[in-house]
């Protein structure tokens, strides 16, 4: 690769100045979520409190939309609180908030609209913490795994409120199940990297899929009934889209204002494959990263509009995740091919784009963006086709206990496609 591509034209203060801007941007995201949530709750703390109680007590396995269960306001307050907790955890452990940390914060916030809440995430985090302690490492070493690992939060809620264990033992069962899931997730996640080789951005979702499958298989073996549940709000874009558009536009403006080289750096960023680890703030500065995040926010929103998606918790969560990972591997050129592949596959199959699973696949299929970035748009498009067909089937394995179902499916697509694409590339290279 041409070394000239890797020139860095940072804002005057370098990484330290970038870190301050990232911190402010993250805090503004938290405040925007909380502000929007309280506004939509009529600034009534009782409405927020009652909504949060519903969110904590309801089942959380895929797909339970907190906007449908508790309303738009409490769902966004829940997202703001958990984004604040993730940011606080990163600050307390002294972690530099760069690409992966930004992706983690936005992902936690996004999934707090449909599955994560202040009760069910902490046992997973503590489980990872215990593993790290046993491994004799500082907790900050595994903080990214801990934050993404909250994909398994439904295990905690299911054991606590879903399978009929009497009070107060239900809470204990939930906490113990969460601790165990968090503990075993780290080694499984490291192993999963070997399989996907960095071409599935939601790698911990892939690993969590295995932990969820083992848990679900054990429950099924003993005929333990799950609470299940399905909630999906069918809202139009009017209430949420202006808020999102304003936020994404502000990201673009701040990116351009903070770094005069944001645009040329963005052109360099667009040439990357996006394969793990593509830490965009570290490589291209925060200006280009914020610009990319804002652009991807608009791209995701426009695609959701074009596909006629419902503007509810899961869809907005998908857009937040898309934006977060635009600091860590995604950009319009590598994300669009798999997303268009999903749209094509949904149109060609009986699943259709109106199915909730297809709408989520559209937004989360950008987990396979590195395939398009490394092997070209056709490979990315095919990855999207495969992704949709898999994503509608693999959920049964873990029964919805892994919130990152698209990461589970994406891992399988990457694991299958990448060795074949490598073989084709090697064969072409050696052809006379």
Partner 1 sequence: MNLDATQLMRCGDELAKYLYLRGSRRVRISYDFGEERSFCAISAPDYLLDEAERTRILKVFSGPIQPEIASYYGALAGRRRDGAEIELLGTMAELEDLMVTEGGGTQIVLSRREAEYFGKRKKR
Applying CB under 8 A, does 142 fall inside the site for partner 1? yes
Distance CA 108, CA 25 (A): 16
Tell which positions 300-359 bind partner 1, by CB under 8 A: none
Q: Which stretch binds partner 1 (CB under 8 A): 22-30, 45-53, 269-277, 358-366?
A: 269-277
Q: Which is nearer to partner 1, 4 or 221 (CB)?
A: 4
Tell which positions 409-428 bind partner 1, by CB under 8 A: 422, 425
Kindly tell me which residue out of 20, 23, 140, 389 binds partner 1, with binding defined by CB under 8 A.
140
Cite the DSSP H helix spans in 96-221.
Answer: 99-111, 122-134, 143-148, 153-157, 169-196, 203-221
Applying CB under 8 A, does 279 fall inside the site for partner 1? yes
**Rg, C-alpha atoms of the chain:** 20
Distance CA 76, CA 420 (A): 42
* Complete DSSP assignment for 325-354: GGGTT--HHHHHHHHHHHHHHHHHSTT-TT
CB neighbourhood size of 263 (10 A): 13
Q: Which stretch binds partner 1 (CB under 8 A): 44-52, 109-117, 192-200, 256-264?
A: 192-200
Q: Which stretch binds partner 1 (CB under 8 A): 68-76, 135-143, 257-265, 396-404?
A: 135-143
Applying CB under 8 A, does 163 fall inside the site for partner 1? no
Residue 282 and residue 99 in contact, taking contact as beta carbons nearer than 8 Å: yes
Applying CB under 8 A, does 150 fall inside the site for partner 1? no
Write the interaction track for partner 1 spanning residues 80-119; mark x where CB under 8 A is met and - where it is not: ---------------xx-x-xx------------------
Minimum separation from the CB atom of position 2 to partner 1 (A) = 8
Distance CA 193, CA 195 (A): 5
Write the interaction track for partner 1 spanning residues 211-240; mark x where CB under 8 A is met and - where it is not: ------------------------------
Q: Which one, of 330, 336, 333, 357, lies nearest residue 346 by Cα?
A: 357
Bin 43: left if φ > 0, else alpha if -120 < ψ < 50, else beta. left
Interacting residues with partner 1 (CB under 8 A)? 1, 3-4, 6-8, 15, 95-96, 98, 100-101, 135-138, 140-145, 186, 189-190, 193-194, 197-198, 275-279, 282-283, 422, 425
């Amino acid at each position: 690769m041409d070394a000239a591509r890797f020139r860095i034209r940072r804002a005057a203060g370098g990484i330290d100045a970038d870190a301050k801007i990232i911190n402010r941007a993250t805090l503004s995201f938290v405040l925007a979520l909380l502000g929007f949530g309280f506004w939509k709750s009529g600034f009534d703390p009782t409405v927020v409190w009652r909504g949060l109680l519903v969110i904590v007590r309801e089942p959380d396995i895929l797909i339970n939309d907190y906007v449908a269960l508790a309303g738009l306001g409490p769902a966004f307050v829940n997202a703001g609180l958990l984004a604040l907790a993730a940011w606080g955890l990163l600050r307390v452990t002294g972690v530099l908030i760069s690409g992966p940390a930004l992706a983690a914060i936005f992902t936690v916030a996004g999934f707090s609209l449909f599955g994560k809440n202040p009760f069910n995430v902490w046992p997973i985090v503590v489980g990872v913490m215990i593993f790290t302690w046993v491994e004799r490492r500082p907790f900050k070493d595994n903080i990214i795994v801990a934050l993404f690992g909250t994909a398994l939060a439904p295990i905690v809620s299911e054991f606590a409120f879903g399978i009929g264990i009497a009070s107060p033992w239900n809470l204990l069962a939930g906490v113990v199940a969460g601790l165990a899931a968090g503990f075993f997730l780290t080694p499984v996640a490291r192993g999963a990297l070997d399989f996907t080789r960095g071409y599935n951005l939601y790698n911990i979702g892939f690993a969590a899929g295995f932990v969820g499958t083992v848990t679900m298989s054990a429950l099924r073996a003993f005929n333990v009934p799950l609470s299940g549940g399905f909630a999906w709000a069918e809202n139009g874009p009017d209430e949420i889209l202006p808020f999102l558009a304003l936020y994404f536009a502000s990201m673009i403006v701040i990116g351009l204002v903070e770094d005069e080289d944001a645009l040329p750096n963005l052109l360099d960023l667009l040439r990357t494959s996006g394969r793990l680890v593509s830490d965009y703030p570290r490589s291209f500065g925060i200006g280009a990263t914020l610009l990319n995040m804002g652009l991807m926010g608009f791209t995701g929103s426009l695609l959701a509009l074009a596909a006629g998606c419902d503007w509810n918790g899961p869809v907005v969560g998908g857009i937040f995740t898309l934006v977060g990972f635009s600091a860590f591997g995604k950009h319009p050129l590598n994300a669009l091919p798999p997303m268009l592949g999903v749209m094509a596959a949904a149109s060609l199959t009986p699943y259709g784009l109106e199915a909730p699973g297809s709408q989520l696949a559209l937004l989360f299929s950008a987990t396979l963006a590195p395939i398009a970035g490394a092997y070209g748009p056709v490979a990315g498009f095919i990855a999207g086709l495969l992704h949709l067909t898999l994503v509608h089937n693999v959920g049964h394995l873990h029964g919805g206990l892994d919130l990152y179902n698209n990461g589970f499916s994406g891992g399988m697509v990457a694991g299958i496609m990448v060795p074949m694409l490598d073989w084709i590339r090697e064969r072409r290279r050696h052809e006379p």
